Structure 1
Amino acid sequence: MTYDWNGSLADGFAILLGRPLGDFDRQATYALYYSCSDLAQELFDEKFDPGVLARGEIVHPPYPSISILGELLEGWDLIAPHWSIDLGRSLFRAGDTGEGAALGLPQLDEGMTGADLGRELVERQWKPRKLRKTFPEIDFRIHTDGSLYDAMRAATATMTGPGEIFETGPVHGVEARWEQALAALPDTELREHLSNLCRDEQTARSDGAYYLGARDPGLQSGAPVVAAWRIGEGQAFSAVVQS
């Protein structure tokens, strides 16, 4: 009998979501966003090309057209360096209200898409470092096919097949309720991989991630959250939303 990897993933996602994927609105579009406050502050340096934003590029690892992004993701996150990122549809906002207006870009206080921000930077011929004064917040939109299944695959780094999931480290400190729930998965590799993304709050500060369920971790879009994770000391999060 052929092993049904896609079926196993769907079972794992159903455990995390509390219901089967088929119970969600199939006509809706689902997206994955990733935010890291430390990374956002460092992104706008001399290596940053605003034209990449203005063109609304979808960039793929190792991000040759925006190398600083690849360098930062490698340093801050385990999963993020494997994503393709839709820069044009990513969201940018001043971290402190009024900082955008003080800079002469009041739209940034309300939030701008990457494409809109890039066009402003190009037209004004601003150096990207100027944006650091606004303490920017960025919700990177991960490129997926719009389905809940694909958004969850990206969020959990299960985009590859069985035997190809990258290592997330030894399984420990898993929150008890998720350890018990995920025990129903017969695939050891998948069970351990998803368990690493369901650690308790203390363990997740240094390893894996803390699963928030459908709680909003602080997204700019305000879209309904389907699943979210807090990463590290709380400076980063990822969230699957229905848009």
Structure 2
Amino acid sequence: MTHDASAGAPHAQEWRRVLTEGFGAFLGRPLSEYDPDASYGAYFWAGNFLSEIGFASDARWVDPEALAGRLLIEDDNIVMYDEGEPAPSFDAAASVFVIEDESALSAELVTELGTASFPSGKAGERLVLGRELGALLERHQVDLADEAFAGAWYVLYPRIASDGTLVDALRVAAAVGADEGPDSLIDFDGEPDEHWEPYLADVAHPGLRAHLSFGCQDAGEASLRRVEGDEASFWGLAAEGCSLVVAWDETENQVEVAVFRLAGALG
């Protein structure tokens, strides 16, 4: 689902300019140097946590309206920072699902899933994009919310709703509001990990700099930190040719959020 965050009042456009410049400094590379024709997305991952609380298999994910991209999934209990920041809205159509048990599905549907799915890197696991899954379910008149399909599926990588641009993917990944502007920022006055200090120092907006500093803490002092690319846990996306832009993790709750340049089945 796309949402044009650049449209609207002049203050919204100015805020997007601030974010574009600030995120470029944070990454050490202007956003204009990234491929402008590519699509970008932010994905959320939480180990077993989403399954344990039932969110990964919540019936809302397989609502036909959600799988078609016409309805977002929202849950105030799913947060990255838990510091009063806006809760993310998830786009089921662009999220990545796992079909874990095919025994209750028809042979015809299983065959078509094989064509629509892509490998995860884990043996026996089949991944499929929400919009592709929704089209198959509609064609075969299957409702995965039915009790007969309990345990057959779950959402592995919820996609945080954004407009497909890099700046908006970074915005939602960092839990920065669009309409709220600076009012959505976390007021953090602690010290970031020294590794990221040079990047943060170049972020001109002091509020955005403080907010991003909150997500760059030393792993020995706090659980929330920006991580290097080889530390991110999003298996399956790299195999499709998606390239990581930036990632954060919150180790206490196994939460990770990562922004990717999309390709393959996700592009």
TM-score, structure 1 as length reference: 0.73
Query: Residue 240 and residue 55 in structure 1: after superposition, are their counterparts in 2 closer, same or farther (change >3 A)?
Result: closer
Correspondence list, 1:187-226, <5 A: 187-205=205-223, 209-215=224-230, 217-219=232-234, 220-222=236-238, 223-226=242-245
* Corresponding position: 1:50 with 2:62: yes
Correspondence for 1:177 among 185, 195, 204: 195
User: Secondary structure of the equivalent of 1:27?
Assistant: coil
| Structure 1: unaligned runs, 5 residues or longer | 64-68
Query: Residue 79 and residue 17 in structure 1: after superposition, are their counterparts in 2 closer, same or farther (change >3 A)?
Result: farther
Which has the larger helix fraction? 1
The equivalent of 1:36 in structure 2 is: 46
Correspondence for 1:93 among 89, 98, 103: 98
Correspondence list, 1:1-243, <5 A: 5-37=15-47, 38-41=49-52, 42-43=54-55, 48=60, 50-52=62-64, 55-60=67-72, 63=73, 70-73=75-78, 82-93=87-98, 100=101, 109-117=125-133, 119=137, 122-123=142-143, 126-127=146-147, 130-131=150-151, 136=154, 138-160=156-178, 162-167=181-186, 170-205=188-223, 209-215=224-230, 217-219=232-234, 220-222=236-238, 223-233=242-252, 235-243=254-262
1:197 shift after superposition: 1.2
Worse-superposed segment, 84-93 or 114-123: 114-123
User: Secondary structure of the equivalent of 2:183?
Assistant: coil
In structure 2, distance between residues paired with 1:195 and 1:48: 34
In structure 2, distance between residues paired with 1:70 and 1:144: 16
1:185 shift after superposition: 3.0
1:153 shift after superposition: 1.4
Task: Work out which structure has the larger RCO, using CA pairs closer than 8 Å and 6 or more positions apart in sequence.
Answer: 2
Query: Residue 124 and residue 23 in structure 1: after superposition, are their counterparts in 2 closer, same or farther (change >3 A)?
Result: closer
User: Secondary structure of the equivalent of 1:43?
Assistant: coil
| Structure 2: unaligned runs, 5 residues or longer | 1-10, 118-124, 263-267
The aligned amino acid for 2:45 is S
CA contact (8 A) 1:54 1:122 kept: no
TM-score, structure 2 as length reference: 0.67
Query: Residue 49 and residue 110 in structure 1: after superposition, are their counterparts in 2 closer, same or farther (change >3 A)?
Result: closer
In structure 2, distance between residues paired with 1:78 and 1:129: 37
CA contact (8 A) 1:17 1:213 kept: no
May I ask how many residue pairs the two structures share in their alignment? Answer: 225
In structure 2, distance between residues paired with 1:80 and 1:115: 28
In structure 1, distance between residues paired with 2:66 and 2:199: 44
Query: Residue 46 and residue 217 in structure 1: after superposition, are their counterparts in 2 closer, same or farther (change >3 A)?
Result: closer
In structure 1, distance between residues paired with 2:82 and 2:34: 29
